[in-house]
Chain A
């Protein structure tokens, strides 16, 4: 056993620098920059990506060292023919593999720890359970190595055992590409490798199930392999959805609390799988003051925002300007990545990434306070106009040449709230919401003469009806409620979402927490679901699992996040179709593989729970059945049975050709005696 361990160690250590190199290159490529995978708004996903993907790379590289460079048949025969049993050989491989794997995975984890401790953000709330997805993913990635170790311990053929997984992953990746449109390379890779993982592991499970194949696996190992292959594959498949969920509608807002302290808050439109019920936030002023004298790490520029646009790439950052109001006046900021000093309550502070263009007092505004204004334009065009609404009226301000001018001072009815939008390019539109009625104004007048700009009524419509697509984003606070939490509502093209913003105070009256949560209750404007709204994960898996996810985790695997609907039952027909398809496919594959009726039923149930992937698992786990015609009854019989399953006939000897020379051995004592003389 020690010699085996020595041999495996020597063999693996030759490839290990290559594994480490891959990991370092991976970290080097993905981590730096504001668009790297380390983002403040998706820390959990970043951990998954860094640790998980590095783990995956190591597992694949270790497995490849086992896989690609071995002469399968003779090497296997040479290795198996010794006093150690196949199981001991397998255990030695696993022991050595685990050793190297643990060391290799330690690198990205240590990097992550180092990053968070010394390079990353201050006060970024990170809890241990955010690392669970990464850990689970890392853990299951290693089963790839197990699978490969088993695969190479059987006689492999290129067309079957080796290339088929790649074909399948290529086809699935292509499907994913077609269904979802242009997506990032990273997701393609994860998905493709995930499918490979599934199939390789299923093949590994299959050899474990094949009887008499000198397999190294016990019954427990077989079951663990099968389950882990399913789980690992689904984890790999679900990984893109982690990124989708965490980036798609995540943005940062500057929010002013009642003391007038600005906070930078992370908001998520979707409750991701990693549970962002608790919002990451930090006080802007304090943060800024701490970093005022230092260089600001590029990746922490709060000006970068990730938003999905329908037609463009998934992630896009752009500059924005922000207007907000405190007791002291109106602050007009833009972010150009510089730290700018500004005055706050008589003290000089530094603002990170926000440049105070102008601070302007507005009559009567201090009475209301705590209003925040936002320009959520999705274009690159800088904001021309911002509106402030209070009890006195509507103020329109425009940024011109680093100045903030009052363009409009117009009284409106009390309780009316304003926001502002930019529908389609050059002409910003303004929107006023009163109750359920929305009024849209557009601006008239020349840009070169800001004071001449006028607001002109454009149209009015009711929120009861479906919103037309002309509005991109509208924010408005709910009715004033002095006692309870304020509700903020966000409207986009698809749905009406409400966020409840609450504030807590500690004993010393300092704000200690700020939560922004999305109620489970959402109003959907989507009534029709199409195939295009199904995610890649939804295609492959999870019929029963989907319902569990939906109600326990409040996450959705089948539908793309903009199609999250309440209740889920409105998606039931589609889920039912997928379930039926999965059941039929699994049943058909079970029949093709010649399973018994009972096994067919069991596999159909597995298909119902785990989706269409089960059909692939059946194909992979059970060997192909070959049938030949029975000489006696003429029906098809299985070649591996001693007797015909129809007529119980044994096999007939092949017909003799009349030229056989068969002289069975007989004890030729005479010649043996001569020989022993």
Chain B
């Protein structure tokens, strides 16, 4: 599990951290109940302001990926949905729309796109399902 951040990119630093934590959780690098790196430790490691890590972690808490235990730190949370059904659909649609835009503009055929999407989805769900 290795964080990598780039300053000056089009994604802000706290977003990069949050995304990476989310990905580690998604890929199973971070199991449920496992602690996240300490705020100061991570800040020191990445050479960034601790408040940025705080911001990333609190975004993760808000999204329900991570939970905080008073005085002990941050831990990967059990999966639960903090969003309503319709909100979840809206977010999914938004992401799919982005994929569709790219696919169309990059001039892929429908088969190619659906095949690759399906493969990626299957790989992801296979990783998750045994742990559930």
Query: Which residues of chain B are near A674, meaning CB under 8 Å?
Result: 39, 54, 57-58, 68
Compute how far the CA of A674 lies from the CA of B69 in the bound complex, rounded to whole angstroms.
Answer: 10
Compute how far the CA of A217 lies from the CA of B51 in the bound complex, rounded to whole angstroms.
Answer: 46
Digitize A633-677: 1 where CB-to-B-CB distance is under 8 Å, 0 elsewhere: 000000000000000000000000000000000000011001101
Measured CB to CB, the closest approach of chain B to A670, in angstroms, equals 8
Query: Which residues of chain B are near A670, meaning CB under 8 Å?
Result: 58
Q: Is B50 an interface residue (CB 8 A)?
A: yes
Query: Which residues of chain B are near A675, meaning CB under 8 Å?
Result: 39, 50-51, 54
User: Interface size for chain A: under 10, 10 to 19, 20 to 34, or 35 or more residues?
Assistant: under 10
Digitize B73-110: 1 where CB-to-A-CB distance is under 8 Å, 0 elsewhere: 10000000000000000000000000000000000000
Compute how far the CA of A677 lies from the CA of B53 in the bound complex, rounded to whole angstroms.
Answer: 13
User: Interface size for chain B: under 10, 10 to 19, 20 to 34, or 35 or more residues?
Assistant: 10 to 19
Q: Which of B41-76 contact A (CB under 8 A)?
A: 50-51, 54-55, 57-58, 68, 71-73
Q: Using CB atoms and an 8 Å cutoff, list the residues of chain A in contact with chain B.
A: 670-671, 674-675, 677
- Which A residue sits closest to B55, measured CB to CB? A671
Compute how far the CA of A12 lies from the CA of B39 in the bound complex, rounded to whole angstroms.
Answer: 52
Query: Which residues of chain A are near B57, meaning CB under 8 Å?
Result: 674
Measured CB to CB, the closest approach of chain A to B13, in angstroms, equals 16
- Which A residue sits closest to B72, measured CB to CB? A677
Compute how far the CA of A670 lies from the CA of B54 in the bound complex, rounded to whole angstroms.
Answer: 10
- Which A residue sits closest to B61, measured CB to CB? A674
- Which B residue sits closest to A671, measured CB to CB? B54
Q: A674-B39, A674-B68, A675-B54 are in contact. List 15 more A-B contacts (CB 8 A).
A: A670-B58, A671-B51, A671-B54, A671-B55, A671-B58, A674-B54, A674-B57, A674-B58, A675-B39, A675-B50, A675-B51, A677-B39, A677-B71, A677-B72, A677-B73
Query: Which residues of chain A are near B68, meaning CB under 8 Å?
Result: 674
Measured CB to CB, the closest approach of chain B to A622, in angstroms, equals 48
Compute how far the CA of A392 lies from the CA of B13 in the bound complex, rounded to whole angstroms.
Answer: 122
Q: Can you list 18 residue pairs at the A/B interface with Cβ under 8 Å?
A: A670-B58, A671-B51, A671-B54, A671-B55, A671-B58, A674-B39, A674-B54, A674-B57, A674-B58, A674-B68, A675-B39, A675-B50, A675-B51, A675-B54, A677-B39, A677-B71, A677-B72, A677-B73
Query: Which residues of chain A are near B58, meaning CB under 8 Å?
Result: 670-671, 674
Query: Which residues of chain B are near A671, meaning CB under 8 Å?
Result: 51, 54-55, 58
- Which B residue sits closest to A673, measured CB to CB? B70
- Counting from the closest, the 7 A-B pairs by CB-CB distance are A674-B54, A671-B54, A675-B54, A675-B50, A675-B39, A677-B71, A677-B73
Query: Which residues of chain A are near B51, meaning CB under 8 Å?
Result: 671, 675
Query: Which residues of chain A are near B55, meaning CB under 8 Å?
Result: 671
- Which A residue sits closest to B50, measured CB to CB? A675
Measured CB to CB, the closest approach of chain A to B49, in angstroms, equals 10
Query: Which residues of chain A are near B73, meaning CB under 8 Å?
Result: 677
Query: Which residues of chain B are near A677, meaning CB under 8 Å?
Result: 39, 71-73
Measured CB to CB, the closest approach of chain A to B84, in angstroms, equals 25
Compute how far the CA of A675 lies from the CA of B55 in the bound complex, rounded to whole angstroms.
Answer: 10
Measured CB to CB, the closest approach of chain A to B22, in angstroms, equals 19
Measured CB to CB, the closest approach of chain A to B6, in angstroms, equals 24
Compute how far the CA of A575 lies from the CA of B29 in the bound complex, rounded to whole angstroms.
Answer: 99
- Which B residue sits closest to A670, measured CB to CB? B58
Measured CB to CB, the closest approach of chain B to A35, in angstroms, equals 75
- Which A residue sits closest to B40, measured CB to CB? A675
Digitize B2-22: 1 where CB-to-A-CB distance is under 8 Å, 0 elsewhere: 000000000000000000000
Compute how far the CA of A674 lies from the CA of B59 in the bound complex, rounded to whole angstroms.
Answer: 13
Measured CB to CB, the closest approach of chain A to B75, in angstroms, equals 13
Measured CB to CB, the closest approach of chain A to B46, in angstroms, equals 15
Compute how far the CA of A671 lies from the CA of B51 in the bound complex, rounded to whole angstroms.
Answer: 8
Compute how far the CA of A670 lies from the CA of B71 in the bound complex, rounded to whole angstroms.
Answer: 13
Query: Which residues of chain A are near B39, meaning CB under 8 Å?
Result: 674-675, 677
